[in-house]
Amino acid sequence: MPYLSPALNVMTAAARKAGRPLIRDFGELENLQVSRKGPADFVTNADERTEKILVEELKKARPGYGFLAEEAGEIEGPDKTHRFIIDPIDGTTNFMHGIPQFCISIALEREGQVVSAVVFNPVSDEMFVAERGHGAFLNDKRLRVAQRSNLPDTLIASGAPFMGRDGQDLFLDELRMVINSTAGMRRLGSAALDLAWVAAGRFDAFWERHLRPWDIAAGLLLVKEAGGVVSDLDGRERMLETGDVLAANEALHRPLMDLLRKAKAGHSAA
């Protein structure tokens, strides 16, 4: 059984409560796909409502804590040592297209360090949890990162810089390098779930640049507690500041970082 600290209990309960209406919305989206207006407003409403439920539930249980949430931004609380970091729907584009690869992500930070993490996919009913020092779990199952160490056998996940963002050429150079050195890559569209899937050993590794703290705060702890290694792309641990992430098992982390560096060096030289 997972180790559920009191805080983690509160976080999973909030995620389940906010997840129920989200499942109903997801069902409705099938009809909206074919309407002329499209689902954009509907998705915005679902996003805002989900965040509101999460903040309400977490506030009820931990009135003093602060928040950093995707929609509301920074909400200060009297307790300066605790902060919830929330993404109400990570994988919004998937949600909008009726693809069941999205999640609610909640991390709890204590004195600047993430200590509890929840990543919940309400459609598949997969609840990923981790508590610092107590391991990572998927529902009732203890998680371990994959143990593959031979790069050509590995399946690697990433995210592409979307429209209007810098870095697309660099990403394509990195991608070329990775697909020529591994068994394949996937781009599933939710960074929080990508990290949870690394923790679960489904992906051998994940890298992406320019993410926001709420995309990755919970997922990074999941990977660490499943025995994986996380860093930014310079090998430092400033992921929440830089938004750059590389997550893998211990054997693969270094070779993958070298590979991505090689792509970047080639890119800069070009």
Segment interacting with ligand 2AM, rule: CB under 6 A, options 59-67, 88-96, 126-134, 167-175: 88-96
- Beta bridge partners, 245, equal 208
* Residue 92 interacting with ligand 2AM (CB under 6 A): yes
Residues that bind Ca ion (CB under 5 A): 87, 90, 215
Token code pair at residue 240: 């929440």
**Which residue type sits at 79?**
D
223: closest CA among 196, 204, 242?
Answer: 196
User: Binders of ligand 2AM: how many residues, by CB under 6 A?
Assistant: 12
Contact assessment for residue 82 and residue 110, using Cβ atoms and an 8 Å cutoff: yes
* Residue 159 interacting with ligand 2AM (CB under 6 A): yes
**Which residue type sits at 56?**
E
Backbone φ and ψ for 173, nearest 5 degrees, come out as: -65, -45
Token code pair at residue 112: 């600047």
* Residue 50 interacting with ligand 2AM (CB under 6 A): no
Ranges within 188-227 binding ligand 2AM (CB under 6 A): 189-191, 208, 215
* Residue 91 interacting with ligand 2AM (CB under 6 A): yes
Token code pair at residue 251: 């054997």
| Burial letters 194-206, b for 16+ CB under 10 A, else e | bbbbbbbbbbbbb
Instruction: Give the shortest CB-131-to-ligand 2AM separation in angstroms.
Output: 23
Segment interacting with ligand 2AM, rule: CB under 6 A, options 12-20, 83-91, 176-184, 236-244: 83-91
- Beta bridge partners, 126, equal 121
Nearer to ligand 2AM, 65 or 206 (CB): 206
Residues at the contact surface with ligand 2AM, assessed by CB under 6 A: 87, 90-93, 159, 162, 189-191, 208, 215
